[in-house]
Structure 1
Amino acid sequence: MPELLDERADSVLITLLPGERLDAGTADLRLRRLLASGPWLRRLHRRRPPTGLPAAPDDAGIVDRYRRTGGPPLPLAVPPPTPAVFCHGDWTDGNLLAVSDEITAVLDWEAAHLGDPVRELARAAYGASLKDERSVDALVEGYGADARAVRAWFPVHAAELWLWFAEAGPPAYLTQLTERLEGWSDG
């Protein structure tokens, strides 16, 4: 259990936690770690949320902004929502630590919110798939979700990521993502 070292209005400092980022090892180790992270995310979604969490991102607004900004054509449709739960908000292999195949920490909770659990799993799976398409299966299997329901969210997350790079990210990444989206496939 980490020890609290300092607490401020905008940050919390704790002792060093064991482990390394999920993507610190080989591709196969990363997949095993992503698989192991699925049950953690599912357990989080079953926990009672703390009071005062913000609402989920506005997906209709994301789609509208993406269309107005002129990103590559995507099959954009916001899937029907599922009941809101406690969401981490940025479940990525950079925000999870592991020793071997065991998850040891979940970091960076500043995007926590009440939201759709399938949306959150899909965001994690889409982002992880940019490194290795097999990541989708690992996360979906680990979580125990319906792969079709997860993939239905991918165009929304692609649009969200494209907007982030267009507004704040490095131009080289925007170029890379634009090229990827221009060859979009629902597969």
Structure 2
Amino acid sequence: MRQGAVGHVRLVEHRGHTVVEKQMTDPARQETEVLALRYLASAGMPVPEVVDVRPGAILMTLMPGDRLDEVELDERLDLLRESAALLRRLHEVSPLRGLGPPPDDASIIERYLGAGGPPLPLTIPAATEAAFCHGDWTDGNLLASGGRLTAIVDWERAHLGDPLRELSRAAWAASRKDPRSFDVMVEGYGADPTAVRAWNAIHAAELWLWFSEAGPPEYLDRLTAELRSWPVT
């Protein structure tokens, strides 16, 4: 079962239909995902439909397509461009109260400096107007079929936050697999590249912390080597 990047997902039968069961241990994140899915379905976004909600689990419709991280690189570029336009459409959806908290960038910087990561130009860019954000807009949470995007899944981190931060995180992460991806996504969204790049060091610090706390040691070593060559001004 490959719908989304979350591990606790499986196919189950429910009233004669095959649906997706997503098991969740955090009630707050489960509530956030249900709230986001129901709201965005009514807004016409391509998201799974909530079929049933149970303690520790959500049942939802199975969406067609394969994850974008399983698509060939050249085809993936076109889909990333499309995904950036879809991300902008999400950010233009009317804000919704009751979602989860936005990322705490001051805490990320403090933790990174305390952990002794390689020097980075860590400053928080001036905030823009808060928008409806997915929270983890990556190629593992985007589905595509026939050369078109079919769904966005895994909404447990949905929040009201800085739209350029979210675009930057998605574009920076995609560029680690293919450097062309950054410009493709920024152009597809219609943003100022300089404003988007201003967030990159924050994402690098956040990823470094993730690897240092939970990731394989070889991933941390590789990223540490990359960050040591980051220009610090």
TM-score (ref. length: structure 2): 0.76
Counterparts of 2:113 and 2:129, CA distance in 1: 27
TM alignment of 1:1-187, pairs within 5 A: 2=48, 4-185=50-231
Structure 1 Cα separation of the partners of residues 160 and 138 of structure 2: 18
Distance in 1 between residues matched to 2:107 and 2:48, nearest whole Å = 38
Quick one: distance in 2 between partners of 1:165 and 1:141? Answer: 30
Letter matched to residue 125 of structure 1:
A
Measured in 2, the distance between the counterparts of 1:137 and 1:8 equals 42
Query: Deviations 1:55-92 (Å, cap 9, x if unpaired)?
Result: 31111111111011100111111111101111000000
Any unmatched runs of 5+ in structure 2?
A: 1-46
Judge conservation of contact 1:72–1:182 (CA < 8 Å) in 2. yes
Gaps of at least 5 residues in structure 1 are: none
> Identity across aligned pairs (percent)?
60
Match of 1:98, SS state, is strand
TM-score (norm 1): 0.93
Q: Distance in 1 between matches of 2:48 and 2:166?
A: 26
| Whole-angstrom distance in 1 between the partners of 2:88 and 2:181 | 16
Helix, strand or coil at the partner of 2:226: helix
Q: Which runs of 4+ in 1 moved over 6 A?
A: none
- Deviation, 1:101, is 2.8
Change in Cα spacing, 1:25 to 1:141, as seen in structure 2 (3 Å) is: same
Distance 1:9 1:121, change over 3 A: farther
Instruction: Evaluate the alpha carbon distance shift between residue 185 and residue 27 of structure 1 in structure 2; reply closer, same or farther with a 3 A threshold.
Output: farther
Task: For 2:137 and 2:55, locate their aligned partners in 1 and report how far apart those are by CA, in whole Å.
Answer: 23
Deviation at 1:5, TM superposition (A): 4.1
Paired residues in the alignment total: 186
Equivalent AA in structure 1 for residue 222 of structure 2: Q
Question: What secondary structure is seen at the aligned counterpart in 1 of 2:225?
Answer: helix
Which structure has the bigger radius of gyration? 2
